[in-house]
Structure 1
Amino acid sequence: MKVASINTMDILTFLLLATTLTTMTQGQVTRVGFYSTTCPRVETIVRSAVQSAVGADPTIAAGILRVFFHDCFVNGCDGSVLIDGPSSEKTGPPNLSLRGFEVIDAAKSQLETTCPGVVSCSDILALAARDAVVQVGGTSWQVPLGRRDGLVSRASDTANLPAFNDPISVQIRKFADKGLNIQDLVTLVGGHTIGTGACVVFSYRLYNFNGTNQPDPDIDPAFLPQLRALCPNGGDGSTRVGLDTGSVNRFDTSYFTNLRNGRGVLESDAKLWSDPTTRPIVQRFLGLSGLLGLRFNVEFGRSMVKMGNIELKTGSQGEIRRVCRSIN
C-alpha cells in the first residue's frame, strides 16, 4: 500500500492556522475576521499605513513591534501604552525610547473616516506589529481580533517589563506570569533580529562586567573592539547599535547565529545561548545538535498570537477609543 508523503511545511502551516483562527478554547473571544462585516477594509488600511511608514524608514518596523510587546506585557494587550499623559505608561523608564506611535495614529485616523467607532486601537496595534514584521522580510500570520481598549495607563506598571540585564530565571518568570513558556520566550526575544539598543544599556558588559573591570566573557573577543569603538568608555551612551549585527533591518535567523557566536549585544540576549535552559531552543532554530529544527517565522507568528491574547478586554470591557492617544 502506498503511503502519502506529508510535507513538513504543510503541517507547520496547519498548526499555525489552528492556533490563529480562534482563541476561544483559551477562554478568549478574539477571532480572525472579527471586523468582516463592520469594517472589512481594516487590514488593508492598517497594512497601507505600515507600508508607507516602513518604506520611508525601515527602522520603524522594530519600533512598532516593540510597542506591541510593551503594551501586552503591561495590563494586557489593551492599547494602554498608546495613551499620552504625565504619568501614563509612555513615561515609564522602559518606554521612553518607544517609537512608531504616529503609524498607529495614521491608521486610526483613516479607520475613523471609513468605519467610525468600530476598530480598537489595540487591534490596530496587533495588526501593525504583524505587518511591520512582514515588511522587513518576516512571514505573515493571521491575527485574531476583537480586543477593547483599556481605561488605565500608569507609568508605575511598567516596572516589571523584561529588562536588558535580566538573568534567564527572571526572564522565564516574567514570561510565565503572562502565560508564555520558555519556547515563547526565546521565540519572541528573537524579534531582536530587527532593532537597536542604546550603548547605555549594555556598555557595562564591555568594560566592567559585574564589577570585575573586565568585559563579559560571553562576548566574542573579536567582536569586543567593534562594540567598544561604537560605545567608548565614558561616552554619553546615546549611540544605538544593531541587536542583530549585519542584519539589523531584516527579519531572519541571523540573530540566533550571532548569539551562538558570542555576538549578542544585550546581556539578556546573550544568556539565551549561555544558559543551558534556553540554549536547546536556540539550537533548534539553527538546526544544530541533531535536534528537530524549528521554523522561526512560523513559531514567531504562533507566539505573537499567544502574546496578543494576554489579559484581553473584550465584549463590554474597556472601550473603542476615538483617538488612540486619549481615553474617550
Structure 2
Amino acid sequence: MEFLRPAGWQEALAAKAAHPDAVPLAGGTDLMVEINFDRRRPARLLDLSRIPELRAHEAGPDTVRLGAAVPYRTVVEELRGPLPGLALAAHTVGSPQIRNRGSVGGNLGTASPAGDAHPALLAAGARVEVASVRGSRLIPVDEFYTGPKRNALAPDELIRAVHVDTARGPQQFAKVGPRNAMVIAVCAFALALHPHTRTVRTGIGSAAPTPVRATAAEEFLAGVLDEGGHWASGRPVPPAAARRFAELAAAACAPIDDVRGSADYRRHAVAVLARRTLHWTWAEYGRDPREAVEGAA
C-alpha cells in the first residue's frame, strides 16, 4: 500500500490527478475500520491531515463554510447557533473520540445511506464544494448521492468544503437505534423550516439506497402552513395535517430488511420521527413567529 501525504491543497489535487485510485484519508473513522477488518485494501492512501484549510470553518451572516475535515466536535461546540440541525446530528455521532476525528466531509465521501450528517444537510439545503486540478464546482447535496456508498465525485476530485445556509428557522434531527449512543441509525429524519421562503425541507437516512428528501411531504406541509396562515400566526398544525405529513414522509422511503431492522419497521419509525420533529420545530417557531417572519424579510 502506497502512502501519499501532500503538504498543501494544490499538492493534494495533483496527487489525486496522478493517482485517481488513491483513497482520501482524514479522520479515518470509516476507512481504518474497513482496512483493519480486511474489508478493503486500497493500493494508495491520500493522507489529507497536513492541510490546515480543510480543518477551518467560516461563519458568515448568511452561510457557514465547513472545511471537509472540520470534526463533528467543532460543529457541536461552535456552530449550534447557525447550524442547529447539523449540530444535533453531529452530537449523535459515535463517541467523543469519534466526534473528535470524524467529519461532515468524511460522511459525504463515504456516502453511506446511514450517515448521520446526510439528513441534516438535505434539510438545510447544503452545497458540496469539490475540486480538482481542472477547477472547482458546487454540487447541491440533493444531487451528490448517486447510489449506496456512491457519490458524484469525479475520479480526480476531492471534497474541499460544505456550504450550509445559516438557519433562519427551527431545525430538528432524530434517529432510531438499538441504544441511545454509539449506534448506526436504523433510520433518521431531519426537518428544517425556512420562513423566509415559506418552505419546508426534510432529510431521511438509512431508509432508502441513498439519503433522500420527502418532497411530497414537504410540499404538503408548506401548503398547509401557507393556506392556514400558520407562518404569520404560529398556530399549531392541525393533527390531521401532522398525520398526513408523517404518512407522506414514510412513503418517500424505500427501505430494506437487515440485521438492524425490517423495512416495515423503518417506514413506521420514519413516520413517528416525522411527527415528532414537526412538533418540536413548530413549537419552537410558534413562540415568536413574527420575529422569524420579520427577520426573513
TM over 0.5: no
Of Structure 1 and Structure 2, the greater strand share is in 2
Length-normalised TM-score, structure 1: 0.27
Higher relative contact order (CA 8 A, sep 6+): 1
Length-normalised TM-score, structure 2: 0.29
